[in-house]
Amino acid sequence: MEIAPEILEGCRKNDRAAQEELYRSVYPYLMRVALRYVINTFDAEDVLNKSMLKALKKIDTFNGTSENLAGWIKRIVVHESIDFIRSRKSFNEKHVTMATLPDQDSTRNLIEDDPSHILKLIDTLPPQEKAVFNLSIIEGYSHKEISKLLSISVANSKWHLHCARKKMKNWIIEKELTC
């Protein structure tokens, strides 16, 4: 996603019109990113608004060009989403309750009839595993790109993806045995 260079310069000069234009141009893209992490639209909007405020306050520290501005803001959104999930988990207890797990349908029917069960399963993953899973599987990023986005090593990225896949596989096997 490319942002006009004039918008970047306007934001650096605290031009409100440029800031609003930046927000309007990146909102749909970044909202989809936030929704992959926090699921709830209201929470995603909160995360996005906090991220945009943080980005606009620190726009002077951005050394890139307007071509990679959306990527820089996306990184802020990903980190804010992870922080939001962490704060929510510490608030709601650190374990997954049975109420958050999908019901006992057969796995095939789960996936075919209601993919929201898979989204709920992804939502139960720990924040780092969820972030790596979303970036790798859903968005198609390489482990090298993920390591830069999340400030972790490539090996750590691979490990988090492995753990996420293993948990999901075990969940599916468990559901097949109980059906």
Residue 5's pLDDT is 87
Supply the pTM of this predicted model: 0.59
Residue 176's pLDDT is 62
Whether 17 has a pLDDT exceeding 70, the answer reads yes
pLDDT digits (tens, 9 = 90+) for 111-159: 454 566 677 788 888 989 999 998 888 888 899 989 888 889 999 999 9
pLDDT > 70 fraction of the chain, expressed in percent and rounded? 80
Domains of the chain: 1-94 (1.10.1740.10), 97-179 (1.10.10.10)
Q: What is the secondary structure of the chain as a DSSP string?
A: ----HHHHHHHHTT-HHHHHHHHHHHHHHHHHHHHHHH-SHHHHHHHHHHHHHHHHHTGGG--S-GGGHHHHHHHHHHHHHHHHHHHHHHHH-SS--GGGS--S--HHHHHHH-THHHHHHHHTS-HHHHHHHIIIIIT---HHHHHHHHT--HHHHHHHHHHHHHHHHHHHHHHHHH-
| Residue of higher predicted confidence among 105 and 58 | 58
pLDDT digits (tens, 9 = 90+) for 96-108: 443 344 443 444 4
| Residue of higher predicted confidence among 55 and 139 | 55
The average pLDDT across 82-111 equals: 54
